[in-house]
Amino acid sequence: MTDLDLLLNRASDPTEFERWLDLARSTGWCERPVRLAGTTHQIDPGTGEILYSYTTAAEPDGHLLKACGTRRATVCEPCSATYRADAWHLIAAGLRGGKGVPEDTATHPTLFVTLTAPSFGPVHSQREESGSGQMCRPRRTPPCWHGRPAHCRQTHQPDDALLGEPLCHDCFDYTRAVLWNAHATELWRRTTIGIPRELAKAMGVGSSRFEDHARVSYAKVVEYQDRGLVHLHVVIRLDGPSGHRLQQTGVGLHPQVLAGARRHRRELPSVQSHAQQGSTQSTRELQPQPVRATRRHPHPQRAFAAAADRPADAVDGFKRLGRKA
């Protein structure tokens, strides 16, 4: 019996078709549901009596459907949308309070930070200005050392296969790019150590006593760029030692985050095809943006929503890299 025969048989039986619709609806219309098969019994622990039994044998196709729960839109768009919405609510609650988070959290110093990899060579990119698309690299510059053009006057669309591709594959430093991705986790770990140290220094206390005076909370999302390199979107919040508003004034979160991120370098091992060793820094393009999260803000909800939107959208950080080539 072919798949088409199975579908026609299901559609011809109203009872079975309605049950299948119920199962599919319960998964949120997951595109790749997990198919469970088996039997379960609910037993009275005192008497050993079987109170309830369930088997998937009576279900359509003999399976119970469960949502896959992936966050990658390239794998399952409905589950990714659910995950993205959940992430937005978690981040927004951390900015404005609610859902078990104290309301005065909205007055805590907060930054939205993007940690971006350095350049390993020019790539095709999508540029916008005032909502309209711009040419990729309009400035006419001399060709590269390999004789290839170093400019691109195309206006790339979001689904353009050229996005992220190097203008010259021989100029692009693939080795460093791979090592960046491999060491990004360690660079972030060192950054989370460096930021409290810089804050402790600004407070005039030892780094070992920092948690007695304040604590740093953050929500982090790692996203792949079109060029295949990871970068981080982080919402960083400065709290008091018990989670309430920091009492000590005159401490700036912005300069300490900058110093904590820029002070760390990661030595890279030598690669056989390249005789030289090297190092990489957490970012050459550190972009911190203060989140105006106070109740005195004329439109505080908009500030919270804008700060939560980018990390929530980035939970599907694989984009076109979500599937194997």
> What is the pLDDT confidence band of residue 156, given thresholds at 50, 70 and 90?
very high
- Hey, what are 69's tokens? 């729960």
DSSP 227: T
Are 246 and 201 in contact, with CB atoms under 8 Å apart?
no
pLDDT of residue 275: 38
Q: Average per-residue pLDDT in the chain?
A: 79
Q: What angle do CA 319, 164, 270 make, to 5 degrees?
A: 105
**Ranges 134-138, 153-157, 290-294: which has the least confidence:** 290-294
Q: What is the DSSP string of 288-304?
A: EEE----TTSSSHHHHH
pLDDT of residue 200: 86
| This model's pTM is above 0.75 | no
Decide if pLDDT at 273 tops 50: no
Q: Which amino acid is at 135?
A: M
- Residue 163 contacts by C-beta under 8 Å, 6 or more apart in sequence? 124, 125, 126, 156, 226
Q: How far is CA 288 from the centre of its chain?
A: 17
Average pLDDT (126-135) is 87
In this structure, the number of other CB atoms found within 10 A of the CB of residue 317 comes to 20
Are 194 and 209 in contact, with CB atoms under 8 Å apart?
no
Name the H helices within the chain. Answer: 3-12, 14-26, 77-96, 174-203, 253-262, 300-313
Question: HSE of 199 in the Cβ direction (CA atoms, 13 Å)?
Answer: 30
**Ranges 21-25, 84-88, 246-250: which has the least confidence:** 246-250
Decide if pLDDT at 201 tops 90: no
- Hey, what are 147's tokens? 């004789």
pLDDT of residue 120: 92
Count of residues in the chain? 325
Decide if pLDDT at 28 tops 90: yes
**pLDDT: is 203 or 179 the higher one?**
179
- Residue 144 contacts by C-beta under 8 Å, 6 or more apart in sequence? 150, 167, 168, 170, 171
Percent of the chain exceeding pLDDT 70 equals 75
DSSP 11: H
DSSP 208: G
Decide if pLDDT at 39 tops 90: yes
As a whole number of angstroms, the distance between CA 262 and CA 248 comes to 25
207-243 per-position pLDDT tens digit: 888 888 888 888 888 888 889 998 888 888 888 887 7
As a whole number of angstroms, the distance between CA 57 and CA 322 comes to 34
Percent of the chain exceeding pLDDT 90 equals 28
> What is the pLDDT confidence band of residue 29, given thresholds at 50, 70 and 90?
very high
Are 30 and 67 in contact, with CB atoms under 8 Å apart?
yes
pLDDT of residue 128: 86
Decide if pLDDT at 259 tops 90: no
**pLDDT: is 314 or 325 the higher one?**
314
